[in-house]
């Protein structure tokens, strides 16, 4: 009897753990970062990405940035039709971005609006791979070094932000 009770408890616990709509992992692209996703039902999620530029040995570049988006999963009722063992999903969303970076001399900051579009494969075990793009546009500022700072538009944020995501689902 104890054996069957233990098997039942383990089965319920594994189903509950697998059914929770959360994932944690890493993103790798023009920067390396931490990724957290929190689902709200089966069709919405909050995606939080904190990233830092890829640094070479002896580099004096440092920085930290973040993007938070509210995403719709399989929007417009469109699903990816080729599901074998796992599941394919695509998503899109909108949110905000910001960060502070130091490129050897000038300190640069940015804040703005971010988008998010991507596709992910959820394996039949708690693992997920994704490929996504997080464009952002907004205000960028710099101290310029030696007192020559300025404020402008962060149009460069449209061209970076393509990442490969590797996450553990729990």
- State the pLDDT at residue 47: 95
139 is in which domain, residue-wise? 23-169
Q: What is the mean pLDDT of residues 21-40?
A: 91
Distance CA 126, CA 151 (A): 44
CATH number, position 137: 2.40.160
Judge contact between 115 and 150, C-beta under 8 A: no
Q: What is the pLDDT of residues 75-121, one digit of tens each?
A: 888 777 776 788 888 999 999 999 998 866 678 888 999 999 999 99
Q: State whether residue 135 is helix, strand or coil.
A: coil
- State the pLDDT at residue 82: 73
Looking at per-residue pLDDT, the higher value among 65 and 145 belongs to 65
Residue 166 has pLDDT above 90, yes or no: yes
Whether residue 128 is contained in a domain is answered as: yes
How many structural domains does the chain have? 1
Lowest-confidence pick of 84-93, 97-106, 123-132, 152-161: 152-161
Whether residue 1 is contained in a domain is answered as: no
- State the pLDDT at residue 107: 83
Whether residue 37 is contained in a domain is answered as: yes
Residue 81 DSSP symbol: S
- State the pLDDT at residue 4: 46
Extract the runs of DSSP E, i.e. beta strands, from the chain.
22-28, 31-40, 44-53, 61-73, 87-103, 107-122, 127-133, 136-142, 150-153, 162-169
């Amino acid at each position: 009897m104890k054996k069957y009770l233990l098997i039942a408890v383990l089965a319920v616990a594994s189903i509950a753990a697998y059914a929770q709509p959360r994932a944690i992992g890493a993103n790798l692209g023009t920067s390396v970062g931490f990724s957290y996703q929190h689902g709200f039902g089966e069709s919405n999620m909050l995606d939080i990405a904190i990233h830092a530029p890829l640094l070479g040995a002896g580099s004096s570049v440092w920085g930290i940035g973040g993007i938070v988006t509210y995403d719709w999963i399989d929007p417009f009722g469109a699903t990816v039709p080729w599901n074998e063992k796992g599941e394919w999903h695509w998503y899109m969303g909108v949110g905000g971005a910001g960060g502070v970076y130091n490129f050897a001399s000038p300190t640069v900051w940015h804040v703005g609006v971010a988008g998010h579009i991507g596709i992910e494969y959820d394996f039949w075990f708690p693992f997920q791979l994704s490929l996504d793009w997080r464009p952002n546009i907004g205000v960028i500022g710099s101290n310029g070094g030696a007192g020559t700072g300025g404020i402008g538009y962060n149009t460069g944020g449209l061209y970076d932000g393509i990442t490969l995501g590797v996450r553990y689902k729990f």
